[in-house]
Amino acid sequence: MSGSDAEEHLIIAPVPALVAVLLRLEKEKGSPLTEDEVIAARDNAACIAMPLSAYEAVTGARGYDDINPEFVWQEWQRVRATLVASEA
């Protein structure tokens, strides 16, 4: 392992992506998730640590960025509006 690989920043990433988890939960519920439900889903999400380069590769392969867990409610509202419009 080279020095640059050993020093690469680790990312804590939800698996599966939070946006996928929230979308599934909302479809199961049949109505919009509340802020408390979104936060609970984030807090209970399975996460893994991975190098930034691996995270970028995963994001590129799936074709979308995930929701930032620190701003989960605000970002879910933004993304949800797009997802709901595309399903209509």
Specify the range with the lowest mean pLDDT, choosing from 2-6, 19-23, 75-79. Answer: 2-6
**pLDDT tens digits for range 11-57:** 899 999 999 999 999 999 999 999 999 999 999 999 999 999 998 89
3-state secondary structure the chain: CCHHHHCCCEEEEECCCHHHHHHHHHHHHCCCCCHHHHHHHHHCCCEEEEEHHHHHHHHHHHCCCCCCHHHHHHHHHHHHHHHHHHHC
- Say what the pLDDT of residue 5 is: 52
Cα angle for residues 72, 78, 80 (degrees, 5° grid): 90
Checking if the pLDDT of 1 tops 50, the result is no
pTM of the full structure: 0.80
